[in-house]
Structure 1
């Protein structure tokens, strides 16, 4: 759990980038290729992207741990937009910064490349720059149109929330695993990890949606605006033929029962069993029972990797869920938020 504490000055400095940043996208995409839990969008992307990975990209992957952690210096602050200034800033990272961020996590007997990076050798730095550039051009660019479109769609949703409800509405509706209670934003992960408290202290906060992560990531570097990466919206598409008659508004609860309907609505964003239990406010055992029934009915699918189960809606569930809820996907999300009030911690 990460608790982000705002001051009055921070509330006036909440921003988004107008478009995805090339180096951020490269790091998030490289991380996604080894992720255990993924959204359906990221899983589809990985099937086509993984065959494009080449040996020259290995230095980038060496800096991403099997758990998805990576050093802050991979995402430097740059003076200009585009990939070239970002790679230059990355290659200019002081050796002492690299050592401070890497050495505590490295096992003894590291390979020549990693030792060269720790020593600040020009060859290792160039290899990292080549790795990032090759990965961006050969793995990311072929799918950049879809990823950019999803980024833009999420910004559209956030703009609508800000215009119609203000900053409180924007922060409250970022993702089911993010809660906002002025002046604190809390992110909940799939596991019960120790609480981390971050004081913004007037630096503000940059929000960065990504379809390539299923959990929230936080970059907090001194003297920089902190960045919260959150899973971008993945909402079901409304069925044009769906009825909006108010008499059908509770049809889903009538059919499935209130709790099971809440479980299904909560999966407009994929979730692990722990995340899903937290969203709906029920026990893990009850969550497992409801997902078993929904899976047998063909409404959700479950992918299991190394002990983690990620649940997501099937194509069958999307029009059914929208029609039974009597409205647009945003209304489905809102009904889920009403449910979580009773027990979402």
Structure 2
């Protein structure tokens, strides 16, 4: 369990990230690539993405194992774009590199080149920067608009919570694995950890690739952050076997299929927001969502003055084209672990992690 301790000053210094954080999305997408091949959301995406990686990805997989500790220096604070994030990683002071990589080595076997990285070796750092840029270009850049749409929608919902019910509703609405018991936010976590904010506040970062539970940094002295799942797990990732927009349009009608996809993409939306984004009247949006709700593809939750539409499991199955009996992809990763590969980073085949 993770316990985040707030003071009165901390409650007035809660911030929600304005943009998706490129460093955290890189790290958490690496975790997703190392996760189960038959994952209901990430499995199909993983099977398509792994073949696109080049050999430099081995370095990133070694530093970001899918389970357990990943070095804090990989996710620096205050980096709204890729270039500033990579620059901050490469500017990490040597003491931080040594401490974080010692933590990693204490938990799993690491390749010999991590000793050069811990000393700030210029060539090894250059390779790390190149690997981060290359990975982002191959894996994230093409879907960054979707990542942004999902995190923007989540930011809007949390902002409404704050306006409607203050910090109690904001912190109480971060998902089923969090619980606000003033003055402590309790998070279902794989290890016991205490985070005392001590007047520094907390930066909330909704993340597209964060799955199941929120995550924070290990070092309590670093800028406090809590990265949590945006979209409540209904991440829309196109995959093999997905019906496709044409097939959905034939089944539902073009406009209704677009409405369903927009609800899936944002992880839930109001009728007015839906109408604004799709350029239709609120009455038309209401008509389409009523039909989708009556057929069980979406559910509508009514609050005091607004109705919010979210995808149901049936709607997700319609979008993703998966059935519960689907087997895992045939390109499941081998059991060898690239994190103990002593070849220099940037050489040899990438090989997916396990």
TM range (shorter): 0.5 to 0.7
The aligned residue for residue 96 of structure 2 is 97
* 1:266 to 1:81, Cα distance in 2 relative to 1, 3 A: closer
What are the equivalent positions in structure 2 for 1:169-188 lying under 5 Å apart?
A: 169-188=169-188
The aligned residue for residue 26 of structure 1 is 26
* Residue 210 (structure 2) pairs with residue 213 (structure 1): yes
The aligned residue for residue 255 of structure 2 is none
Offset, 1:233: 2.3
Distance 1:109 1:14 in 2: 37
Equivalent pairs counted in the alignment come to 254
* Residue 109 (structure 2) pairs with residue 124 (structure 1): no
Offset, 1:56: 1.8
* Residue 33 (structure 2) pairs with residue 45 (structure 1): no
* Residue 16 (structure 2) pairs with residue 16 (structure 1): yes
What are the equivalent positions in structure 2 for 1:146-295 lying under 5 Å apart?
A: 146-189=146-189, 193-214=190-211, 215-219=213-217, 221=219, 223-234=221-232, 239-241=289-291, 242=293
Q: Normalising to structure 2: TM-score of the pair?
A: 0.63
* Residue 75 (structure 2) pairs with residue 55 (structure 1): no
Assess if the C-alpha contact under 8 Å between 1:16 and 1:208 holds in 2: yes
Query: Alignment RMSD, CA only?
Result: 3.4
Distance 1:39 1:201 in 2: 38
SS in structure 2 opposite 1:206?
strand
The aligned residue for residue 87 of structure 1 is 86
Query: C-alpha offsets along residues 209-228 of structure 1, whole Å, 9 cap, x if unaligned?
Result: 12312221112545543111
Distance 2:75 2:326 in 1: 33
Offset, 1:26: 1.3
Assess if the C-alpha contact under 8 Å between 2:117 and 2:124 holds in 1: yes
Distance 2:324 2:15 in 1: 34
* 1:303 to 1:229, Cα distance in 2 relative to 1, 3 A: farther
SS in structure 2 opposite 1:123?
helix
* Residue 139 (structure 2) pairs with residue 139 (structure 1): yes
Distance 2:60 2:188 in 1: 28
Query: C-alpha offsets along residues 69-93 of structure 1, whole Å, 9 cap, x if unaligned?
Result: 2010111235x64222221221121
Distance 2:96 2:198 in 1: 23
SS in structure 2 opposite 1:179?
strand
Query: C-alpha offsets along residues 292-321 of structure 1, whole Å, 9 cap, x if unaligned?
Result: xxxxxx9978999xxxxxxxxxxxxxxxxx
Distance 1:23 1:174 in 2: 21
Assess if the C-alpha contact under 8 Å between 1:41 and 1:212 holds in 2: no
SS in structure 2 opposite 1:198?
strand
What are the equivalent positions in structure 2 for 1:289-328 lying under 5 Å apart?
A: none
Assess if the C-alpha contact under 8 Å between 2:23 and 2:85 holds in 1: yes
Assess if the C-alpha contact under 8 Å between 2:77 and 2:223 holds in 1: no
Distance 2:64 2:31 in 1: 6
